[in-house]
Amino acid sequence: MNDLLLFFHSLMRYAVVITVAFAGITHLVALLRKAPILNGERQAAIFAVVFSHVQLVLGLVLYFLRKDAYVSTTTAGRFWKFEHIGMMVIAVVLVTLGRSLSKRAQDDHSKQLRVAIFYLIALALILWATPWPFTELGHGRGWL
């Protein structure tokens, strides 16, 4: 069961990275062009919220199922027990805040600014806290 959850969690990271990046960049471009928000941009932001929440739930289930697997005295243990989960929770909160605050904004400029800022900061956190295969902590884990 853990292996299946880990596979879906690893697979879902690409959906999260792609949708958060796409929504953040498209809102930033539209903001710089002073263009109105298009339905596709709005839907991309919604998909980013949905995928990030599903990813968070999968990650939390894995975290509590494997809680004793990592000793926090090692570098890898500290990363998995504190840094990875903490940064990802903060990133999901930022994505959620960006979408929520953009819905409350009055004009398109404010909406796009909020999505762009919150999503791109969240994207930076996600990219930093993900154990990619070319990093020391992700070495040997593979791309999925």
Domain ranges of the chain: 2-129
pLDDT band at 65 (very low <50, low <70, confident <90, very high): confident
Token pair recorded at residue 95:
């994505």
- Identify the pLDDT of residue 71: 65
Give the burial class of 126: count Cβ atoms within 10 A of its Cβ; 0-12 exposed, 13-18 middle, 19 or more buried. buried
Mean pLDDT of the chain: 90
CA Rg value for the chain: 16
Token pair recorded at residue 117:
């800022």
Token pair recorded at residue 63:
């975290």
Checking if the pLDDT of 72 tops 80, the result is no
Looking at residue 81, what DSSP letter applies?
I
Tell me the whole-structure pTM to 2 decimals: 0.90
